[in-house]
Structure 1
Amino acid sequence: MASKRSVREWSVPRSDLEMNKLKLYNSFTKQKEEFVPVSGKRVLWYNCGPTVYDSAHMGHARSYITFDIIRRVLRDYFKYDLFYAMNITDIDDKIIKRARQQFLFAKYCEEHKNVDNSTIKCDILKAIDHYKNKLNAETDEDKKKMMIRLLENVENYGNNIEICSLKKIESVLSEWLDSIEGHDVNDISVFESLPRKHENEFYEDMTALNVLAPDVVTRVSEYVPEIIEYIKKICENGYAYESKGSVYFDTVTFSTNPKHQYAKLVPEAVGDRAALDEGEGVLSVSESKLAEKRHPNDFALWKASKPGEPFWESPWGKGRPGWHIECSVMASAVLGKTLDIHSGGYDLKFPHHDNEIAQAEAYYDTGDDWINYFLHSGHLTISGCKMSKSLKNFITIKEALEKHTSRQLRFAFLLHSWKDTLDYSENSMHDAINYEKFANEFFLAVKDIIRSVETNTFTKWSQLELDLNLKFHDSIAAVDVALCDNIDTRSALDAIKELISSCNIYMKSTSIPNAVLLKNIAGYITNLFEIFGLLENGKNEIGFSSNVESSVNREEVIIPLLDVLCKFREEMRLIGKEFKLNQILDKCDELRDDILPDLGIKIEDKEVCGVMKTVKKLVDREMLLKEKEERMKIEEEKKKAKEKRKLEQLQAQVAKEAQKKINPVDMFRNDSNYSQFDEKGFPIADKEGKPLSKSAIKNLTKLYQQQEKRYKEYLSSLNESNAS
């Protein structure tokens, strides 16, 4: 009887690798923490939006592109169900003051169209005196430098001012106008039109940057009733008090309650007078306002409106919301009492975000956290310098987009850590542009292979394909590790760059590359780039979209025609090389370099395994023309450098010929360094009459003998010329 074998029962396989878990840098703990939403895959996210009193600048782009990238990665890579809310601050001290100033400046220009220039000059002098008083009172060194620049600008234009050029000194003049007439501005439309204008511009800029629209936008002006009710509840809970028509948050009472802690994000900043004043607003900081508070750290929830300021009726009188309260109220209104993520710029940590947290936790008064993860994007500098609207040294998003594309700007952000300072400079943009070009060339090369090789033809894999496929899956794992590690897009892009380099080496190593494998790799990279928001025109099968390839019919028509054209060109080049017909070769190059790029077509001559092949690419016409322009610029610089060298050689030759004609007897006589000479014209004393040293005589003797030789050669050439 056969023995009964022991057969192991099947069991669930165990992976030899642990699944990577997403970790995010949480400003509360100042370290990376595992991301765990309260409700499974549902993520409630509130992002601090702009205060719309001016055009959006690159500092805004830093924040909104950063959180757009993180949002896309959470949604499309980690598959979270996001609900993303953003506010628009359309009631604020800066908005009120800017709106008044623009209104009064426009009114002044209109009223003084036909006024004698002497009157305007008199007003400018008054404006200068007013501005100098502000300058003397300013303590911030950066702001003082900015104000000095503005005053110098007034002095440059002030003496020859005309009504049409007042715009050049608007900042100084409007400050003075606001100081004497601002309290009389009471038309509510003045304070509404400015934020509406800049809000619309902001949306246009975000669309141009390919930033996803929020799921919901909350405006302060639309939530005033909710803000009033919210403040009333905080007062009822004992954490706020009314004083002269304003309501202030009681930081001392809040801090002494064991359930609460004030300034959770930046506790060391408590008492920072400059930061607190900035948070209160330019119209709300004065000794009288400070006297209304029980403690200097207390901050306004509701501000009593003065003449020249918009107002709403409230239990405490006519007033308007403080800055910090708006976010606490609106976030709670649309997201509830617990937020998974709150985000904003690094500079908002204190006092704005710390005050938001305190207000919300005072409102609910449960002792629970209002926010679980606070994300702050890093600062943005311009070529190493601090950028600020208040310092008037910012670059608007529209200005940046005139120089670089939306994709290039996003690449620059992706190539840096989202929480660290990013320097917007020629160097950072150079890296971004090069990465875009590197990836695009890969996509175009793969497309050319796919067109040339049947993708549904499966061939036996060699070791080259096996190695590349292993690299492909190692890269996928590396990207996953990077994205789980605080959305590290820089490391993810490094892994993709290595993968593309491996593909490029592979494509050069085989005469018939595997189109299926390359298509899979290019498709994965395209999908990742789409997740990063790098594909402005929606999903593509492979690579970046272009105007050329937006129509399938266009490609179907062009590619067969291009095949015929390239084959003809290859044959002409072979004939030209064989019979050394340079004109034919020149014409072939002209077709490649000048004619086809203007049609959005790029062809390249590449050697693959010892065989020259023509690679055909349909590329965005503007990109090709820009490359052509840069190439011509480089060639022109080379040409100028060559001409310069040729001229310098000619000048050197002329100088050399001129040098030959000098009789050695005369060569030192006009040199002021010497005062006495022998009968041969050789120096024997310096300019002060002292005899020359032995070393000086030795050096001069060598020069004298060299000139003697040159002069003899010159005389000899003259004799030969005369004899002939």
Structure 2
Amino acid sequence: MAAPTDAKKRTQPPWEPPSGAGCPKLHLYNSLTRRKEPFVPQEGKKVTWYSCGPTVYDASHMGHARSYISFDILRRVLTYYFDYDILYVMNITDIDDKIIKRGRTNYLMDRYLLEASSPEQRLKDVQEAMKMFESKLNKETNPDKKQMYIGIAKATTEATEGLQSTLKSQKEGSEIEKSTKVMLEAARDPLCDWLDAEHGSEVKDKSIFFKLTQHWEREYHKDMDALNVLPADVLTRVSEYVPEVIAYTQKIVDNGFGYESNGSVYFTTSKFDTAPGHHYAKLVPEAFGDQEALKEGEGDLCISQDRLSEKRSANDFALWKASKPGEPAWDSPWGQGRPGWHIECSVMASSILGGSMDIHTGGVDLKFPHHDNELAQAEAHYDNDHWVHYFLHSGHLTIAGCKMSKSLKNFVTIKDALKQYTSRQIRLVFLLHSWKDTLDYSADTMDVAVQYEKTVNEFFLNVKAILRDAPSSGPEAFEKWNQPELDLNEKFETCRSKVNEALCDSVDTKMALESMRALIGQCNVYMQERRAAKAPPNRRLLQNAAVYITKMLRVFGAIEGDEPIGFPMSGAAQNVNVEETVMPYLQVLSEFREQVRQTARQQKAVDILKLCDALRDDILPDLGVRLEDREEGAAVVKLVDKETILRERQLAKQQAEEKQRKKEEAKRKEQEKQAAKDAQRRIPPSQMFLQETSKYSAFDDKGMPTHDAEGKELSGKQIKKLAKLYQAQEKLYNEYLKVSEATPSNDSVSAATNLS
């Protein structure tokens, strides 16, 4: 039928987008502006990133882990969550005052210990070294360092006195040798300083320094691998960039911001700061002129008076240092020398990333002077004012409120931390705190991370147990959603939204993990309610939640491997799903054990029940298998990392022992309290004050005090108070007498027994 000619022409209504809030954009806390800024890379999704690496002269500690794990988390989130293409550059400082001094002193100390010398001569050397050390102690103004020096001086004094006593008593050689060794260990730092002052200039072999740095760089990489920190895309070493440092320094001089003095080259901070378009100390302007910080930045070997007098201003800093005897040296237009500390990062970052970069990271303690000097050098070299767009600084790590520091000998090495906790637990403790805030490393802090890991792992295991009972495909894999499922899904969506908001908010992993913890709690409640109602939970919904949490923990670097749900089993061969392989056999074992238990119960076969318990409690846990008995049906089988189970058992044992100890302690205290109470009851009221001669000097015929210890008569108020105590004791004593009269003595009981 044809449409009527006069029909009204119909049009499609215009489409309008939903009025939602939209997706939040990533913001990062920028130390340059001291606020959160929208993150906008210079070139689309490409991100150029330079991170200050370690100075390799000693073992890496948890202060290093604080920075490198924090930056690894940021890098992973920007790469795997926000999908940026990152070029990550990191340096290794292998030329530095600390390295030079440590390399020299290690060499000199080893040589000294190999020399044939009597205990008396060793004692004399240490006493000489202590004169120099005490002078250093007296000049120290930093309270933390001063306290450390006092501790070293005290330990050394005690050790030297011990050796002197041993020598005077003319004990056998082994005792003298032992006392000498104790003294040398206590006095190592003072002795090293003394040896360096006496013989440091004699060290000429560069290999001494590079042998030290190569060893500790290898150890650093091992530590980072153990912590699951991604390796840098580009790794630079100062020793490989000396020609570039010389050329870079020359360009700064040519641009008018540097000058040569006595073979060293210094940066003119005042000229740079007053030049148009330049600003010195961008990160910490309030620290401009902080001489203590500037001296520390120059290094221990460059704070002598002759070095300081070379500078036109106390605020200037070294770009190139003229090498003294005993220091490694390279040829330069200004003579034999070596790179300054700050210039190395400017040069190496510029060599790879050019005249500007998106992100620069480092520890908060590097802000001034290191990073401020880096910025000044690079911007003087390129004549720009934007060498770094986003500066991200990780917070301090403290131990019981004190800064973790190698120079203060207040640190926990990464290797020692990994003996006590797993790499995942250490990473979780950083994830549970903001990357830019101070974090206190303690047993309590780590316990929070351990408990978080346990909560997450139990959730994974429970979901896996439910999924094993369900078909993975076909119509049976899909179940109707009722109100509980709708409610849980809404909470799931809320969690994902909150996690996204948290990561957009300067990568707030603390809030992200709290949101994930809340979702796990809601899933646990849902599973409990379904179990109570004897109704199966919606397996696919729980699976989606578990897959999401696994994915996010993988983004954060807390999960390795590609298993869709849960933590991987340690020691599993690559591309082998241990769970899929062994679970069918374990399920059969669990069902067989349940049948045996039921039969044993019916026949009251206690020994067989004990064997079933031993299988659950002792045998299977050693294989990484946990059985959880339930009211009906076979035990739930959970594959748990063997180390995790062993730690759980050890913790449970410790908690049980601690509980028993507290119980026994409470019982002992109660017995002591009762004994004291019984002893008090046995005292006649007439005797209770007579022994208190420090308080009273005279008593009446009832034993009541009448005068205080100085002979002054007691007031009526005091006597009234003492009378109340007297009456109370009289009551207790009378009760004691009644009980004594009613209870026959041991002698009476024995006599009665003999008569019978």
TM-score between the two structures when normalised by the length of structure 2: 0.88
Superposed counterparts of 1:410-425, under 5 Å: 410-425=427-442
Residue 402 of structure 1 and its aligned partner are, at CA, apart by 1.1
Q: Equivalent residues in 2 for 1:167-316 (5 A)? A: 167-316=185-334
- Give the 3-state SS of the residue equivalent to 2:398 in structure 1: strand
Q: Alignment partner for residue 404 of structure 1, among 409, 415, 421?
A: 421
- Is the 1:592–1:603 Cα contact (8 Å) retained in structure 2? yes
Residues 142 and 8 of structure 1, relative CA distance in 2, 3 Å threshold:
same
TM-superposed deviation, 1:59:
0.8
Cα-to-partner distance string for 1:701-723 (whole Å, 9 max, x where unaligned): 31232123112212499589578
Query: Is the contact between residue 263 and residue 321 of structure 2 (CA under 8 Å) also seen in structure 1?
Result: yes
SS of equivalent to 1:196: helix
Task: Please give the secondary structure, in 1, of the residue aligned with 2:187.
Answer: helix
Q: Is contact 1:549-1:618 (8 Å) kept? A: no
Aligned residue among 44, 48, 52 for 1:44: 48
Residues 253, 70 of structure 1: alpha-carbon distance in 2 compared, 3 angstrom cutoff = same
In structure 1, distance between residues paired with 2:281 and 2:745 = 94
Superposed, which structure 2 residues align to 1:10-21 within 5 Å?
Answer: 11=15, 13-14=17-18, 16-21=20-25
Q: Work out whether residues 455 and 515 of structure 1, in 8 Å CA contact, stay in contact via their aligned partners in 2.
A: no
Aligned to 2:12, the other structure's residue is in SS state coil
1-side partners of 2:689 and 2:279: how far apart? 87
Is the Cα–Cα contact under 8 Å of residues 54 and 91 in structure 2 kept in the other structure? yes
Letter in 2 for 1:504: N
Check the 8 A contact 1:243/1:292 in 2, yes or no: yes
Q: Please state how far the C-alpha of 1:592 moved relative to its aligned partner.
A: 2.3
* Among 385, 392, 409, the residue aligned to 2:402: 385
**1:368–1:17 Cα change, 3 Å:** same
Query: How far did 1:647 drift?
Result: 6.6
Could you tell me how far apart the structure 1 residues matched to 2:208 and 2:642 are?
Answer: 45
Residues 343 and 377, structure 2, Cα contact 8 Å, conserved in 1:
yes
State the match for 1:506 in structure 2. Answer: 526
1:700 and 1:656 map into 2 onto residues whose CA distance is 11
What 5-or-longer segments of structure 1 have no aligned partner? none
Contact preservation (8 Å) 1:548, 1:600: no
- Which deviates the most, 481-490 or 699-708? 699-708
Which stretch shifts more, 598-607 or 419-428? 598-607
Aligned to 1:105: 109
**CA–CA separation in structure 2 for the residues paired with 1:713 and 1:340:** 91
Distance 1:119 1:715, change over 3 A: closer
Between 1:526-535 and 1:504-513, the stretch displaced more is: 504-513
Report the secondary structure of 1:709's partner residue: helix
The residue aligned with 1:458 is: 478
Is 2:727 the partner of 1:703?
no
Deviation sequence 1:140-161 (CA, Å, 0-9, x none): 1211111111112212322427
- Measured after TM superposition, the shift of residue 453 of structure 1 is 1.5
Letter in 1 for 2:613: D
Offset at residue 593 of structure 1 (A) = 2.2
Deviation at 1:170, TM superposition (A): 1.6
SS of residue paired to 1:545 = coil
1:513 to 1:706, Cα distance in 2 relative to 1, 3 A: same
Query: CA 1:501/1:694 → structure 2, altered by over 3 Å: closer, same or farther?
Result: closer
1:127-146 matches, within 5 Å, as 127-146=129-148
In the alignment, the residues of structure 2 paired with residue 540 and residue 252 of structure 1 have an alpha-carbon distance, to the nearest angstrom, of 58
User: CA 1:422–1:695 in 2, change beyond 3 Å: closer, same or farther?
Assistant: closer
RMSD: 2.9
Which amino acid in structure 1 is aligned with residue 243 of structure 2? P
Question: For this pair of structures, how many residues does the alignment match?
Answer: 712
Instruction: Give the drift of 1:466.
Output: 1.7
1:577 to partner: Cα distance:
6.2
Contact 1:234/1:359 (<8 A) preserved: yes
Say which SS state the counterpart of residue 283 (structure 1) adopts. helix
Matches within 5 A, 1:289-688: 289-365=307-383, 367-456=384-473, 457-510=477-530, 511-535=535-559, 537-547=560-570, 550=573, 552=576, 554-556=578-580, 558-574=582-598, 586-606=610-630, 614-642=635-663, 668=687, 672=691
* Alpha-carbon shift at residue 5 of structure 1 (Å): 5.6
| Cα shift readout 1:382-417 (whole Å, capped 9, x = no counterpart) | 121112111111111111111111111100000001
Q: Does structure 2 retain, via aligned residues, the 8 Å contact 1:255–1:261? A: yes
- CA distance 1:87–1:645, change in 2 (3 Å): closer
Q: Which amino acid aligns with 1:289?
A: R
Q: Distance in 2 between matches of 1:256 and 1:332?
A: 24
1:61 maps to 2:79: no
Structure 2 Cα separation of the partners of residues 219 and 579 of structure 1: 75
The alpha-carbon distance between structure 1 residues 380 and 696, as it changes in their structure 2 partners (threshold 3 A), is: closer
In the superposition, relative to structure 1, how do residues 211 and 705 fare at CA in structure 2: closer, same or farther (>3 Å)? Answer: same
Structure 1 Cα separation of the partners of residues 600 and 634 of structure 2: 17
* AA at the equivalent of 1:466: L
What is the Cα deviation at residue 651 of structure 1? 7.9
Give 1:172 shift.
1.2
Question: How far did 1:263 drift?
Answer: 0.9
Of the candidates 2, 6, 11, which is equivalent to residue 7 of structure 1? Answer: 11
C-alpha displacement at 1:650, in angstroms? 7.6
Deviation at 1:585, TM superposition (A): 5.0
Shift of residue 649, structure 1, vs aligned partner? 7.4
Partner of 2:38: 34
Cα distance change on mapping 1:47 and 1:400 into 2, 3 Å = same
CA deviation map 1:642-683 (0-9, x unaligned): 5566677788899999999x7x989959973599898xxx75
Equivalent residue for 1:88, pick from 89, 92, 101: 92
Q: Please say which of residues 163-172 and 120-129 is displaced more in the overlay.
A: 163-172
Query: Which segment is superposed worse, 630-639 or 476-485?
Result: 630-639
The change in CA–CA distance for 1:587 and 1:218 in structure 2 (over 3 A counts) is: same
Query: Would the alpha carbon gap of residues 116 and 444 (structure 1) be closer, same or farther in structure 2, given more than 3 Å must change?
Result: same
TM-score (norm 1): 0.92
Provide the secondary structure at the position in 2 that maps to 1:376.
strand
Amino acid at match of 1:524: Y
Identity level (%): 51
Which shifted more, 562-571 or 469-478? Answer: 562-571
> Which amino acid in structure 2 is aligned with residue 633 of structure 1?
Q
Residues 73 and 651 from structure 1, CA distance in 2 versus in 1: closer, same or farther, beyond 3 angstroms?
Answer: closer
How far did residue 612 of structure 1 move?
Answer: 6.7
Residues 390, 640 of structure 1: alpha-carbon distance in 2 compared, 3 angstrom cutoff: closer
Q: Aligned equivalents of 1:548 and 1:463: distance in 2? A: 42
- Aligned-pair CA distance for 1:547: 2.8
1:174-196 CA deviation, whole Å, 9 max, x = no partner? Answer: 10000011011111111211111
Deviations 1:421-467, CA, capped at 9 Å, x for gaps: 11111121011000001001111111111112112221212222222
120, 127, 145: which one pairs with 1:118? Answer: 120
Please give the secondary structure, in 2, of the residue aligned with 1:25.
strand
